[in-house]
Structure formats: structure tokens, C-alpha cells
Structure 1
Amino acid sequence: MNPKYTVLDTFSGAGGLSEGFFQQGFKFVSHIEKDDRARASLETRAIYHALKNSNHEDIYRDYISGNLNRDEFLQKFKDLELPPAGLLLGEVTEINENPMMEKIQEHLKVMDSDSVDVIIGGPPCQAYSLAGRSRDPNGMKSDPRNYLYKHYLAFINKFEPKLFVFENVPGLISAKKGSIYTNLHHEVEKLGYKTEARILNAKNFSVLQERKRIIFIGWKKEYDFSYPLFPEKPPEEFHVSDILKDLPSLQPGEGTDDPVDYKIPFSDASRYLKKFNIRKQEDKLIQHKARIHNPQDRNIYKLVISKWNQDKKRLKYTDLPSELQSHNRKDVFLDRFKVVDMNGCSHSVVAHIAKDGHHFIHPDIEQIRSLTVREVARIQSFPDNYKFEGPRTSQYSQIGNAVPPLMAKGIAIEIEKMLKEIL
């Protein structure tokens, strides 16, 4: 493994961006995330990597297989007295910003590190997203989340990393008439950094999903760097079918969060799952439980699945039979029911899936249901042994808000190359 560069992870969520850097061998100073359940998922994953690196992965497998409860799992990790897996902190506010920075500095000393090499993260995107602004009468102009990026800048100012990665939705460019995008560039420059931003698509990083994100990469002005050359075309040999066909078929309400066998053995699993380490030989399937759907929704699902599979056309809400149209508004959100494309890339996974599965319908006409947590996690490129904590609605939100780990790893690879030039 290459030297482990230090990372400060802000607005971490459940750890999608972190996972890519973990896989590339970076070590984390701290993860900052306000949501308790997402932070618990991230803690679980950070401990997994610590156990794996110390040849104690069996403890993690005992946990996700149900042989250990969470308290027992955390205690076993504590008893090993391994190096910390990264300090976990809660919400950053104006009041606790400085105390939080002091804790991070203390943790750097515990790690025997004297600096932060990279800061990564991106504040919650709801205030910047076009969908969020369309739903808010004031266009999210007064939403305080517009200014969370200032905390990110404060951490850059305090810890002076060599590089930083700032991720968000493309809507950030036009948020508040472009003032946030312009101000971000201006403030970073005042701190002594050059930064460039590009809109990147996750599918070009082998993620089986159309998912565009704006990725800022910045570096200290004294470094002779330029924005990395990321792939611009997706690999064409893989499709969503590669991540669904080995999973047990389910009817609404069927399945379990507990470990079960896959439908087909590892030897017959798709090349995609093996190549990108989504599924491993020792894995058991977890968190594959289908939602319960009412009869009307199932009737709608059946229609939209049939239309998509037969004609590759998506039914608008107003195309449904009148007896299936129960919403009064017929002029907005007409694409509220959408089937995942089995023979291509999925459309973008979003946190709204926590509220209902209408936008993420399984393409199998024999199942007539929305996607499970594990199916959505696979579309996001999370490994099968990635356990999401909390109730199912929270698990969906965590996945929908995450950076796909395969995309994150692609970014981490380029960041590592840049660091090698100066360290």
C-alpha cells in the first residue's frame, strides 16, 4: 500500500466519498456529519477498514451476520486497541466550529501527524438542487444551507491542506443567480488556492448510473497542477442487469435485512460485481427486503413496467387510466413513476426514494415492486458488505445522498497522484 495521506472529511453523509479514499489507502483525521444514523453507518464502515487492515475482518463479518449486536461489535473493536479509525464529529455550527477544530488538532497528535493533506466533502445539496428550488416558493433563497460551504472554507483556512475536493450538484452553479459559485472561487483564491470545477458523470467511473456532479478540485497556488483528466466515456460492456440478476426475486413485503444466500453462487456472478469488488467470495446478502405497495400502486407499476420493457417508453402520470390518477395536480411531476433501465445505466438515485419507490421501479414484470436498499446501494456502487445503520427510510436517504464509491475512488486515485508530486 502507498503512504497513507491524511484526509479531513466534512459533510460526510454515510461515507460514499470516504469509501473511495478508504479503498485507496488514505487515513482519516476526522469525519464530520450531523445526522446520527448516517454517522453510525460511517462509524461501522470506518471500523470495518480498521479491522480489515489489522487482519481482524472476521469481527466485522460476525457483526453483519448477526452473531454480534452493535454494542458487542463496538466493544470488540475497542478491546483490540487499534489505531483510531477516524474521529467522528457531529454538526458543525458557528458556535462549535472552533472547538471542533481543536478536537481535530488533538486527534492529529494522537495519529502522530502534523498536517492535513486533503479536505474532502460537500454540504447538503437540497438548497442548490434545481428540484429543491422548484418545490420551494422562495426558490431556496432564504435556506441557511446555502451558506454551509463557508464552514468548509473555514476548515481549509485552519488546516491549510495541500489539496481539497468539494462535491455538489450542478445546480450550485446557478444557485442564488450564480453568486455562490462565484463567491466560492473568490474565497478559495483569497485563502491561497487555485481551484477548477468540472461537471462529471458517475457513469464514466464505471458506476451504472447517470449521475452528474460538480467536482471542485483545489490546490495551493505554489503547486504547478491542473485539473485531472478523468474519463469522458462510460464502459459499454456493463448494464444494470449485471447488478440485479444474482439477487433473489421478491414480491412486495418479502425479503429480509438479515444475511441470506444469493440466487446464484459467486462463481457465476457477473464480471462487473467481481471486477469492482461489489460482491466478494465470502459475502452474504444483507438488507434485501422489498417495500409493501398498495394495490393501486402495483397496478400502476405493472403498466409502466410493461410499457418500458416493450416500447422503451415512460408513461406520464396523465397517460394512466383515469381510475389510477388519484392526484389533483395534473400539471407537475408527470414522471413520478419510472422504471430502472435493465439494459443500460440507471437514472440518478436521489434521497427522495426514502419517501416512496415510485421513481425506482424494478424492471422485472414478475416482481412489480420498487428497489430494495441493497439494489439501490449496488446502483450507487456500494460493496455488498457495506452495512447501513438505522431504519430503512434512513438507509435509503443515506444511499441517495451519497457520492458513488467507485466515482470517489477514481477521484482519490488522481488526488494521490498529485500528492506524490509534492510529498
Structure 2
Amino acid sequence: MSEEFAIIDLFAGPGGLGEGFSRAGRDPASRMKIRLSVEMDDYAIQTLRLRAFLRSFEDFPREYYEALNAGDPLPEWADLYPNQWKHAVSEVRQGVLGAEGVFEELACELDRARETYNGNTILIGGPPCQAYSLAGRSRNKGKADYVPEDDERHYLYREYVRILDRLRPAAFVMENVKGMLSSKVDGGGIFSKVLDDLENAGDGYRLLPLARPAPADGSRAAAQDFLIRAEDHGVPQARHRVIILGIRSDLAEGLVLNGPLVPPHPAQISVNDVIGDLLRLRSGLSSKDDFEAWQAALRDQATAIAASDEVPDEIRELALSLSTANDIPRLRSSQWKAEATSMPEHLRAWFADSRLEATLQHETRGHIPQDLGRYLYSAAFTRAFGSSPKLIEFPEFLQPQHKNRASGDFADRFRTQAANRPATTVTSHISKDGHYFIHPDPYQCRSLTVREAARLQTFPDNYLFSGPRTKQYHQVGNAVPPFLAWQIAKAVRGLLG
């Protein structure tokens, strides 16, 4: 049996990276175990602690399934299993990395992990990305007094480096947005500074790309080589992220890499592959909701679309059929077991839990009647033409009454996720509204549920997100896809022997 490695997870979010690494670590040949997770968000902390508690059992406790399957609140775990719950609370620490005193609080824990595991530790995590993301940079440009050098978010990665210096792990994995490659501060690109600091941290690290072969001469890979496309690795989502793997210099000597550490999957996974088996749900109305009111609002919108000369014939025909349909889905309950009949086998095994008899957190938002019309039009257009319409392609009577709608900044404002392709990137914006994440089935006429977003992010079906629905969406959008993290974890552990 191989030596066990301890995982330290920074900026952990709801635990996407940690879920992948801990799942890979269950293999007796490549044992890894989360020792510490650090996160600042209240609800993500609750999610992480619940998952840490569940992982302390060989099989999740029966009380977990009894509550979920019945739709009941979870029991008080501290009363039922005090030792396991105490361990979970100790493993998951709430703190703002970079705030005064937080590093000092963690330092003893880092030292203890390094000594207990004889240096066999792995550091993972992704510093917050708002300063690097294209959307964040666009917002910052609109601020008259914005100075990149004064934005502390550009330098949060240094807290990661600071902990890397202290822990001196055998390996680390740092994740961030694609925008890090082009972000500039202090007159130059931030990415080269990040790579320099990571390379020189602790005892020194060799930096390796995950999706392409490393340079044979041991030199640093090109910046673009650190970009990994999640859809090329079995994730049903076009999520492009910078992922940097570092191997401690003493372990990297003589290391031979014959190809990509995360080999591509033979075929991309589509939206329909992973959410097509879930129960069809109608949306709700933002105002007083009942089925008759919803159906009347939807039929009014469908009738207007079918009667418009601005609308392509293919969409008018579908809208006309919907305006007279009586088989619109009525259920909104999550207490229903998904049957993954058409899902690829490897993902069916990844998502499934035979003890789970309910589909968790699969409930819809309410929408205003005008948005029902826009969602219907967008979904019907996407079904007919294979891609979601730009805002300019909507008929005038469906255009939102926004002052800046003609600016071009919101061209994808009502975007349907095409059924036969990977989804666009699931982001935390999904917590604000569902306009960029419209379900591909025009008859459902709604945005994605938390569970559908979680499926696109490859969270297992028994993964429960804490907090109100808006906070659940936010956690899902901020996560690393666990299925990709699992592949990375196996590759990292394979290099460490």
C-alpha cells in the first residue's frame, strides 16, 4: 500500500477541487486525504463541513439518505455523531486569506501536516479571480478612479505562495481564470510574475502543464500550455481555466513526461447527455404562481410569437404548437429519482448513488411573463438553428427595455444552452438570474435548476449545497468541476509515485 498524502485546500469554495482529489485518494494505490480546507463564505463553509463529515464514513450514514429521500431537514450531526462532526469542523476553517492574523492561525496546522506526513502533502486551490476575469476587467474599466496596482485582488495569489513557502508540499495545483494569461499590472503581465513566484517558492518547484507535453529540456512551458479546456476532458461544459501543477524540485529531478498529464476524452459530452434524464419541470411566475396562471402567461407569449411576422417560420410553428399544448410539465418537486438512461457510462457511475431516491435541489425559479416569451423564443431558435440567438435577433416586442441594450455589451443576454453541445461556462452570475442559462427544451421555458448546473459542473448527485437557492447557485458557479479535478488528482499522484 502506498504512502498517504495530506491535501490542503485553499480558497476552497464548495469543494470542487477537494471532491476530485479526495475521490481519487480512495484508491489504495494512491491514497490522499483532505487535512484542511480554508474558505471565507458562510454557506460554502456549511457545504464543505457537511461533505467533510460524510467523507469520514466508509459509507455515508443512513440518516443522510433518510432525510434526503423524504425531503426532510438534515438531523443535528453533532448529536448523532459527535466525534465525526467535531473532526469535520476542525478540518474546515473559515477565514479570509490575506486578512490580518489568518496566516498565523494556519501556520501551526501547516507545520503539523508537513511533519505528520513527512512532507507528503499536496496544496490545491484557486485564488479569487475577479481582478483577472474578462468580465471583471470590463467592469473595472468603467470605474473612473480604478488603478490596477491598487486592487489587492491582483495579489491574492501571493497568499497561496506564502502558504506554499510554509508548507513546502510535494506538489501543488493552482487554478484560475483564462484572463490571468492576459491581465496586466505594474506595466507588465501578471502571469509571468505568478509563475516566477510559484517556481521560487519553498524549496523550488518545476512547473508543468497538464494538457500538453512539458518541454523536454526542462525549461518553462509557454503560458498557453497551462490552459486546460474542460470540455476536452469529459466535462459537459466549455470551461477554459489556467491550471498550474508544481512538483517540488527534489522530486522533479529525472522526471520524464511522455505526454499530456490529463489525456483528452474521445468525445465531448453534451448538455443533454447529463441533464436529459432529469424530470421535466415548468418554470414559475415571479408574482402569484399557480399552474393555470403560468399556463395562461406562457400561451399568451407563445401566441404573440406565432402571430409575429418578425419571427422565422420554424419558431412560429413551434410556438403555435406550444400555445395549444396540454402536456406541459406540471411538477416542481425534487422528490424524484433520476434515471440516467442515455448518459455515458463513465459519467453515470460518477453521478450515481444507489441509496439516493430523490433528485436533490431540482426546483425552478419564477420568471416574469415577458421573460417566458424571451426564453421560449431563445430555446426555440436554438433548437431550430443550432445556436442561441443574439439579442439583436429577437423581435422588437421581446426586446428588454434597458437603456444600454444597444451597446452590444449584452448581446448574449438571453442565451440557451444548446442540447447537443457542451454548455458555456457556468459562472457565479447564474446566482443573479438565469438569462444566460436557459434550458434547451422550449416546452419547459425556464432557466437551469441548481441540480442541472451542478450536473454541468460534474458534482455527484448526492452533493448537497447549503444555504438559500441563490447561494447554492453561487457556490456551483464558483467551483472547479470535480470530474476534471479527479483526473488531475490521479495524474499528480501518479507522478509522486
TM score, norm. by length of structure 2: 0.77
Residue 20 (str. 1) matches residue 20 (str. 2): yes
Match in the other structure for 1:311 = 385
Q: 1: CA distance between counterparts of 2:49 and 2:347?
A: 25
The match for 1:130 among 123, 134, 137 is: 134
Q: In the TM superposition, what whole-angstrom CA distance separates every residue of 1:26-60 from its partner, at most 9, and x where no partner exists?
A: 21121010001011111111112112x2x453233
Match in the other structure for 1:5 = 5
Q: 2: CA distance between counterparts of 1:406 and 1:30?
A: 21
Match in the other structure for 1:196 = 208
Match in the other structure for 1:97 = 102
Aligned residues of 2:417 and 2:437 also touching (Cα < 8 A) = yes
The match for 1:239 among 258, 267, 270 is: 270
Report the residue type matching 2:403 in the other structure. Answer: N
Match in the other structure for 2:193 = 183
Q: 1: CA distance between counterparts of 2:164 and 2:126?
A: 13
SS at match of 2:81: helix
Residue 385 (str. 1) matches residue 462 (str. 2): yes
Q: 1: CA distance between counterparts of 2:90 and 2:495?
A: 23
Q: 2: CA distance between counterparts of 1:388 and 1:13?
A: 11
Distance 1:92 1:309, change over 3 A: same
1:236-315 matched pairs, under 5 angstroms = 236=267, 238-253=269-284, 260-262=335-337, 264=339, 268=341, 270-272=343-345, 275-283=348-356, 284-315=358-389
Distance 1:233 1:412, change over 3 A: closer
Report the residue type matching 2:181 in the other structure. Answer: I
Aligned residues of 1:28 and 1:86 also touching (Cα < 8 A) = no
Aligned residues of 1:205 and 1:407 also touching (Cα < 8 A) = yes
Match in the other structure for 1:219 = 247
How far residue 187 of structure 1 moved from its aligned partner, in angstroms, is 1.6
Aligned residues of 1:133 and 1:140 also touching (Cα < 8 A) = no
How far residue 350 of structure 1 moved from its aligned partner, in angstroms, is 0.8
Match in the other structure for 1:356 = 433
Aligned residues of 1:194 and 1:220 also touching (Cα < 8 A) = yes
Distance 1:86 1:63, change over 3 A: farther
Residue 344 (str. 1) matches residue 421 (str. 2): yes
For structure 1, the 5+ residue unaligned runs are none
The match for 1:327 among 375, 397, 402 is: 402
Report the residue type matching 2:380 in the other structure. Answer: S
Identity of aligned residues (%): 33
Aligned residues: 414
Q: 1: CA distance between counterparts of 2:88 and 2:369?
A: 50
1:45-194 matched pairs, under 5 angstroms = 45-51=51-57, 53=58, 55-65=59-69, 69-70=73-74, 72-79=76-83, 87-90=91-94, 91-105=96-110, 108=113, 112-115=116-119, 117-136=121-140, 137-138=142-143, 141=148, 142-177=150-185, 178-191=188-201, 192-194=204-206
Q: 1: CA distance between counterparts of 2:352 and 2:104?
A: 41
SS at match of 1:164: strand
How far residue 119 of structure 1 moved from its aligned partner, in angstroms, is 0.4
Q: 2: CA distance between counterparts of 1:231 and 1:93?
A: 32
Q: 1: CA distance between counterparts of 2:491 and 2:268?
A: 24
Match in the other structure for 1:374 = 451
Aligned residues of 1:291 and 1:372 also touching (Cα < 8 A) = yes
TM score, norm. by length of structure 1: 0.90
Structure 1 or 2, whichever has the larger Rg, is 2
Aligned residues of 2:232 and 2:268 also touching (Cα < 8 A) = no
How far residue 406 of structure 1 moved from its aligned partner, in angstroms, is 0.5
Aligned residues of 1:12 and 1:33 also touching (Cα < 8 A) = yes
Report the residue type matching 1:59 in the other structure. Answer: E
User: Which stretch shifts more, 242-251 or 398-407?
Assistant: 242-251
Aligned residues of 1:87 and 1:107 also touching (Cα < 8 A) = no
Aligned residues of 1:46 and 1:86 also touching (Cα < 8 A) = no
Match in the other structure for 1:404 = 481
Distance 1:408 1:57, change over 3 A: same
How far residue 378 of structure 1 moved from its aligned partner, in angstroms, is 0.2
Report the residue type matching 2:395 in the other structure. Answer: P
CA-atom RMSD in angstroms: 2.6
Aligned residues of 1:201 and 1:213 also touching (Cα < 8 A) = yes
Q: In the TM superposition, what whole-angstrom CA distance separates every residue of 1:109-143 from its partner, at most 9, and x where no partner exists?
A: 9x954445110001111111011111222577243
How far residue 313 of structure 1 moved from its aligned partner, in angstroms, is 3.3
For structure 2, the 5+ residue unaligned runs are 26-31, 210-225, 285-329
Match in the other structure for 1:418 = 495
How far residue 4 of structure 1 moved from its aligned partner, in angstroms, is 2.9
Distance 1:276 1:287, change over 3 A: same
How far residue 68 of structure 1 moved from its aligned partner, in angstroms, is 6.8
How far residue 188 of structure 1 moved from its aligned partner, in angstroms, is 2.2
Q: In the TM superposition, what whole-angstrom CA distance separates every residue of 1:352-386 from its partner, at most 9, and x where no partner exists?
A: 00001011100111100000000000011000100
Aligned residues of 1:243 and 1:272 also touching (Cα < 8 A) = no
1:33-52 matched pairs, under 5 angstroms = 33-51=39-57
SS at match of 1:288: coil
Aligned residues of 2:381 and 2:388 also touching (Cα < 8 A) = yes
Q: 2: CA distance between counterparts of 1:215 and 1:280?
A: 29
Report the residue type matching 1:236 in the other structure. Answer: A
How far residue 315 of structure 1 moved from its aligned partner, in angstroms, is 1.6
Q: 2: CA distance between counterparts of 1:334 and 1:101?
A: 45
How far residue 273 of structure 1 moved from its aligned partner, in angstroms, is 6.8
